[in-house]
Amino acid sequence: MSKIDAYEQEVLKAYDSGRLRSIATKAELEKFKAAARATAIKDRRVNIRLSSIDLSDIQVKALEEGVPYQTLIASVLHKYITGRLSEKAQRITSRPTRTSRKRDAG
Residues 6+ positions from 86 with CB-CB distance below 8 Å: 80
pLDDT single digits (tens) 22-47: 888 889 888 888 877 776 777 788 99
Going by pLDDT thresholds of 50, 70 and 90, the confidence category of residue 17 is very high
User: CA–CA separation, 41 vs 37, rounded Å?
Assistant: 6
Rounded percentage of the chain residues whose pLDDT exceeds 70: 79
What pTM, to 2 d.p., does this model score?
0.49
Contact 69, 62 (CB under 8 A): yes
**Mean of pLDDT over the chain:** 83
User: CA–CA separation, 49 vs 43, rounded Å?
Assistant: 20
More confident residue, 100 or 26: 26
